[in-house]
């Protein structure tokens, strides 16, 4: 799953505003803010208060709380209590242990703790739902030195919070938990789209979250649902301008993931058509950003994927052309000093491509 949270990002090039991470990205709310921006820029006159959860469940300041599982370090899912020690974990998490990881006691049996789970569920349901779409002068509190206090919209925080919980659970292989949080998140964004329309911000968030849901289904071995989520992710990301690198990357990755699933399913023609779509998205991205080396690498990888399928279905000439094109791209790619981290990847893709060409010669 992508390590990038679609909610925690700096200003986007397509909306001209200059938000900081954690600030409101709800277009609907922004429309009504009016002079909000000017107030924030009045420097010493105002202080901005970031939303904070008293239990510590914020995307910036995460700490383990009474509603967390010590094993996956995310909020409890399928709460299960160890007998006799009474320590509580997610069912999936604790089922991998014979002794309680907290106290070391033998686990005689595990009992569902539905009461605690309903507390957790209510907490998640209500978390960061408050929306302050408008800053009214008379509602602003005053702190020392007569600074105005502006409370930020926390609707953004909810998305970041759910994605963070999902990523923690996913890393700890509690995929059901991750899927549940992401589903809530997708539901939230769909609700926002209903009121605000298909804004690029919301489409890119939903596209990313749907892609993560696809990753969950794939990890659970449910290829059919994974394809459905990836396709929906593609649908939303395709609505967006091709100039945004982050979006085109997510879009091309989703297309490749569908291609991979079709490939493993033995449907090579379908796999090829998704790989080609991904390749085209990446070629377009290069036209917009010719000097970004990671884009060139992405195109080379896409060429290799298409060539590989071409070879499998007997299109040997087309395959060789693409392998050669990819090799040429990588051989002429000069990395800037700040891109040194890409050199390893460039070399390994190049080695793969050269091996593919050599395979033909030895036939």
* Binding site residues, Zn ion, CB under 5 A: 69, 71-72, 85, 87, 90, 93, 100, 102-103, 105
Residue 90 or 135 having the CB closest to Zn ion: 90
The token duo for 242 is: 């091709």
Q: Give the other-Cβ count within 10 Å of 81's Cβ.
A: 18
For residue 301, the minimal CB distance to Zn ion (Å) is 34
For residue 113, the minimal CB distance to Zn ion (Å) is 13
Residue 92 or 271 having the CB closest to Zn ion: 92
DSSP strand E in 32-161: where? 46-49, 79-83, 88-90, 109-112, 148-151
For residue 215, the minimal CB distance to Zn ion (Å) is 18
Residue 55 or 347 having the CB closest to Zn ion: 55
For residue 77, the minimal CB distance to Zn ion (Å) is 6
For residue 70, the minimal CB distance to Zn ion (Å) is 8
Residue 68 or 248 having the CB closest to Zn ion: 68
Helices (H), the chain: 27-33, 36-40, 91-94, 114-126, 155-171, 175-196, 200-219, 223-237, 245-264, 268-288, 293-312, 316-331, 343-361
- At a CB cut-off of 8 Å and minimum separation 6, what does 68 contact? 74, 75, 76
Kindly report the backbone phi and psi dihedral angles of residue 79, in degrees, each rounded to the nearest multiple of 5, phi listed first: -40, 125
Q: Are 273 and 265 contacting, i.e. CB atoms less than 8 angstroms apart?
A: no
For residue 118, the minimal CB distance to Zn ion (Å) is 17
Residue 96 or 134 having the CB closest to Zn ion: 96
The token duo for 134 is: 């408008």
Residue 78 or 215 having the CB closest to Zn ion: 78
From the list 232, 231, 217, the residue with the least C-alpha distance to 175 is: 217
């Amino acid at each position: 799953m992508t390590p990038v949270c679609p909610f925690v990002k700096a200003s986007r090039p397509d909306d001209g505003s200059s938000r900081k991470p954690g600030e409101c990205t709800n277009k609907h709310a922004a429309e009504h803010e009016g002079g909000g921006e000017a107030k924030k820029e009045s420097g010493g006159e105002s202080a901005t208060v970031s939303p904070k959860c008293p239990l510590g469940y914020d995307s910036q300041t995460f700490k383990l709380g009474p509603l967390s599982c010590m094993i996956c370090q995310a909020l409890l899912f399928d709460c299960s209590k160890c007998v006799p020690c009474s320590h509580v974990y997610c069912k999936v998490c604790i089922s991998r242990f014979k002794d309680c990881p907290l106290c070391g006691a033998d686990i005689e049996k595990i009992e569902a703790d539905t009461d605690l789970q309903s507390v957790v569920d209510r907490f998640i349901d209500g978390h960061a739902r408050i929306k302050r779409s408008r800053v009214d002068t008379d509602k602003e509190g005053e702190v020392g030195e007569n600074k105005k206090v502006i409370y930020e919209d926390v609707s953004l925080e909810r998305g970041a919070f759910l994605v963070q919980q999902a990523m923690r659970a996913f890393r700890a292989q509690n995929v059901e938990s991750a899927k549940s949080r992401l589903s809530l998140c997708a539901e939230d964004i769909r609700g926002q789209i209903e009121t605000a329309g298909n804004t690029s911000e919301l489409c890119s968030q939903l596209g990313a979250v749907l892609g993560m849901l696809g990753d969950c289904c794939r990890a659970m071995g449910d290829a059919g649902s994974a394809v459905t989520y990836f396709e929906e992710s593609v649908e939303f990301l395709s609505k967006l301008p091709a100039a945004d690198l982050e979006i085109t990357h997510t879009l091309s990755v989703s297309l490749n993931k569908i291609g991979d699933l079709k490939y493993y399913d033995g449907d090579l023609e379908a796999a090829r058509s998704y790989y080609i779509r991904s390749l085209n998205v990446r070629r377009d991205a290069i036209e917009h950003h010719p000097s970004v080396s990671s884009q060139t690498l992405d195109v080379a990888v896409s060429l290799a994927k298409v060539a590989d399928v071409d070879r499998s279905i007997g299109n040997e000439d087309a395959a060789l052309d693409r392998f050669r094109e990819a090799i040429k791209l990588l051989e002429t790619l000069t990395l800037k000093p700040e891109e040194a981290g890409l050199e390893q990847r460039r070399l390994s893709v190049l080695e793969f491509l050269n091996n593919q060409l050599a395979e033909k010669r030895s036939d």
